[in-house]
Structure 1
Amino acid sequence: MGEEECSKDDILLYQGATAPLPNGIPTYTVQILNACPTRCSVADIHVRCGWFSSARLINPLLFRRLRFDDCLVNDGAALASGESLSFQYANTYRYPLSVSSVACC
């Protein structure tokens, strides 16, 4: 049997405004979901993220910037089909986040 096919289009990334921090900095919630229809696991998920930074600490195992415009999700570990993770960041403006690459496993 061949390897399950998957693509970066199977990873859905949503973000929306959340209540601001007490000091007024806007906060956003990001959800990343593996919506692969063939029950494939997707690993090594990279996101275009500019100079992403946050006034609120984010667990680096969930989401961290490796270099300009390259953030790693879930420390590179696989997200099973239907599995999601979310985190919040705080910044004066919303970053345009989009999935740039994934690996099928």
Structure 2
Amino acid sequence: NLKNRTALSRKLLLSPDIGDETNRIGQDCSKEDIVVVQDSTVPLPSGVPAFSVQIVNTCTSDCSIAEIHVSCGWFSSVRLVNPRVFRRLNYDDCLVNDGQPLAPGQTLSFQYANTFSYPLSVSSVSCF
């Protein structure tokens, strides 16, 4: 069964349907090219849970992606997050990298602490 799932995963990666231009914002860029990965990390000394976040530009062509906005609810942190890296502008609207571009393959990381993790997903981008 694991063998079948692995084969299916490989087949999906090679599928000509993946990367269909219908979801593209520009010729070489899509909000799907930005991946947000979040994981638990060591809690603060006070016991408040902490989380690490990585935001990656996975674009395989020569595309820089800027004005990355993330759906983030009422995001807040008891641990200071550099506002140039990630900040909440309004409810459910956080800005990544102060609006500046992430180059292809570039990863931006930060940690935050709160009693729960916030669901984070890319809502919009601008392509260059």
TM-score with structure 2 length normalisation? 0.79
Higher relative strand content: 1
> Which one of 49, 54, 60 corresponds to residue 83 of structure 2?
60
> 1:6: Cα distance to partner?
0.4
Q: CA deviation at 1:37?
A: 1.3
Residue 113 of structure 2 aligns to which amino acid in structure 1? A
Which protein is richer in helix relative to its size? 2
- Determine which structure has greater relative contact order: mean sequence separation of CA pairs < 8 Å that are 6+ residues apart, divided by chain length: 1
* Number of corresponding residues: 103
Counterpart of 1:35?
A: 58
CA shift, 1:33, in A, is: 0.3
| CA drift at 1:39 | 2.3
Runs of at least 5 residues in structure 1 that lack an aligned partner in the other structure: none
Runs of 4 or more, structure 1, over 3 Å off, are none
In structure 2, list runs of 5 or more residues that go unmatched.
1-25
Give the RMSD, CA atoms, in angstroms.
0.9
| Equivalence for 2:104 | 81
Partner of 2:121: 98
TM-score between both structures, scaled by the size of structure 1: 0.96
User: How many angstroms apart in 2 are the aligned matches of 1:69 and 1:10?
Assistant: 20
Which of the pair has more CA radius of gyration? 2
- Percent identity over paired residues: 63
